[in-house]
Chains A and B, each alone.
Chain A
Amino acid sequence: MGAHLGRRYLWDAEAEPDPLHMPSFPAQLGLPARQPRVMVASASQLSDARVPLEQRDFCGHHLLRLLRCQRDNFPVPWGCHALRHAWDSCQHEDYVMRMKEFERERRLRLRQQRLRRR
């Protein structure tokens, strides 16, 4: 934790991804069979539930089910653990995808450097 910061600020900024300008390579480069992400819940459903904008991501359908279950079971706080776990694991998969994106960007930048040196 912090090795990427050391590499970026003290070493070689070209080889480290800049999180403000990502992704800088075409999406299909090196991964020809990439599928676009599927959004299950619709925009009108999310806006009817008045979900905050930061939570209107690709795990919105799990969140909607969880909120409905919590509203039905109120004031009892238990009873929605399974749906909560489903939403949490979807968020976890999303975070792992972000990490993979970062790593892909980094490897493509290193490859670009190697190609330039050749």
Chain B
Amino acid sequence: SEMSKDMMPGPYPRTPEERAAAAKKYNMRVEDYQPYPDDGLGYGDYPMLPNKSQYERDPWYQWDQPDMRHNWGEPMHWDFDMYIRNRVDTSPTVVPWHTMSKHFLLFLSIMLIMFGLGEIYPSYRPVGPKQYPFNDLYLERGGDPNKKPPAVIHYEI
């Protein structure tokens, strides 16, 4: 389907008539139409829609395109390809954000403190160290065969 030149986005609307024409072009009501602020970023008269992903739309409504949750002729967000259901999801969390962060930080801090305490005060069995023969395995552990190893004798008890 060919799009004529007047269906494409144009420059930022300055007069109320230009705003009405742009709203009609994008299939929106004049009250709802709100372009991006004109700060030279190049949005033109494209409407600024709420930054909500397609996940937040009603899954049970009979959309024209069910996978996109989008109706024919509905104005698409500037970042529509980002807000599809395979990508970014802006659904609200089940638990408020501050509760989630508090729980997570509490857990993390408690775990770090406990691991730190375990490093400072290690736990061990009430036994002496294991005794090895041949001067505590001097040669097997890479000792120099030409030097005399330190003599280590283990006794029975």
Contact B153 A27 (CB under 8 A): yes
Residue in B127, B132, B140 whose beta carbon sits within 8 Å of that of A99 in the complex? B127
For A58, the closest partner residue in chain B by CB is B133
- Give complex CA distance A85, B153 in Å: 27
Contact B133 A104 (CB under 8 A): no
Contacts between the two chains (Cβ within 8 Å), count:
80
Please give, as numbers and ranges, the residues of chain B lying within 8 Å of A60 by CB-CB distance.
133
Contact A22 B155 (CB under 8 A): no
Contact B128 A56 (CB under 8 A): no
Within 8 A of A (CB), among B138-157: 139-141, 153-157
Please give, as numbers and ranges, the residues of chain B lying within 8 Å of A81 by CB-CB distance.
none
- Give complex CA distance A35, B139 in Å: 24
Residue A73, interface by CB 8 Å:
no
State the A residues within 8 Å of B (CB): 2, 4-5, 9, 17, 19-20, 22-23, 27, 31, 34-37, 39, 43, 47, 53, 56-58, 60, 94-95, 97-105
